Amino acid sequence: MKVLLAMSGGVDSSAAALVLRDQGHDVVGVTMRLWGGESDTGCCSVSDVDDARRVAQQVGIDHLVFNFSEEFNEHVVEPYVASHVQGTTPNPCIECNRHLKFDKLIERGRALGFDAVATGHHARVIDVDGTLRLARGADAAKDQSYVVHMLSAEDLAYVMFPVGHMQKSDVRELATSGGLRTAAKPDSQDVCFIGSTIGRAGFLEPRLTFNSATVVDGTGTQVGEVPAVELVTLGQRRGLGLGGGDKRYVVAVDVPLRRVVVGDEAELFISHTSIGTLSWPYSTDVSTISSREILVQGSAHGERSAGTITVTGDTAVIAWSRPTRRISPGQTVVFYDSADMVVLGGGIVTE
């Protein structure tokens, strides 16, 4: 098959190139130029593009660069800034995967006559009762099904995950045996468009107006102050101007009122979570999910917690099997079948 492989400059997509080549596919590597500003982190830095190009040369495949910087700004950067203004916690990597790394890549791949597109994500495509479904990667510690949960059965028929069945150690061993320059390269953990020297505050400061806020306890008594309420997140403990004493955590953030509420760690644990913007990639009959126990993941590398979901139209409520730490509004949650760990759907926390 003629396969268009997304190459980020990391070890996973590098190893994927070897796997696809050795399987006999006609592979073309492509690096998506997404962030047009300065970057020294994530998968958008100049060095990452160079690594991808050189690995393609090592593997013996052609390498292309697609410029999607305008689309990236529209679908990822602008919503990221807007979320902070609204007081919610965005998930830019999911939106990048949704709109760029798959939507635009699949569209471009089809237009250029490729039979499939591939990425280095640790996820698998399996058949469940005649329908292609997304399942967790074989390496539970590196599983990335959370960030690609939006892929439909139609998408999965066109997408390949060449390293999804492998352990990360085997991926690195393959890259090492192939002499690839990325074999020992560390995994990227940062938001690609936020440089390490300026951080989140430095990125946001020229793009929005920071507002100070009072910090109050559960009785409404002021106990501190923060210079930018837009930068405060649930669970935060430092930078609240509280001084010494007992540990207190952010349990609520009200951006319009410019108020941050702190409390004991126990107050971060709740029994129910409200979800909106539901997504069912496989046209799931929600009656088969509602009122039965599923597993829910609330961050890219977070643990999956058991709960019962009740769906009402475009919203849902998760009743946790045991008190669970709050997930910040704006964060994506992904639902998994507790039996075989395939993705059922997802949504965004509203409460």
Which residues, at least 6 apart from 63, have a Cβ–Cβ distance to it below 8 Å?
7, 28, 29, 30, 31, 52, 53, 56, 57
* Contact assessment for residue 249 and residue 264, using Cβ atoms and an 8 Å cutoff: yes
- Distance, in Å, from the CA atom of 308 to the CA atom of 290, rounded to the nearest integer, reads 7
Q: Write down the H helix ranges in 113-228.
A: 153-156, 168-177, 199-204
Pairing of strands 159-160, 116-118: parallel
* Contact assessment for residue 26 and residue 113, using Cβ atoms and an 8 Å cutoff: no
Residues noted as catalytic = 96, 192
- Distance, in Å, from the CA atom of 214 to the CA atom of 155, rounded to the nearest integer, reads 47
Cα–Cα distances (Å) from 137 to 43, 164, 251, in that order, read 21, 5, 33
Torsion of CA 157, 159, 165, 171, to 10 degrees: 170
- Distance, in Å, from the CA atom of 78 to the CA atom of 123, rounded to the nearest integer, reads 28
* Contact assessment for residue 296 and residue 310, using Cβ atoms and an 8 Å cutoff: no
Give the tokens for residue 318.
């998760």
Which residues, at least 6 apart from 270, have a Cβ–Cβ distance to it below 8 Å?
320, 323, 324, 326
- Distance, in Å, from the CA atom of 111 to the CA atom of 131, rounded to the nearest integer, reads 25
Q: Write down the H helix ranges in the chain.
A: 11-22, 46-59, 69-72, 78-86, 92-96, 105-111, 153-156, 168-177, 199-204
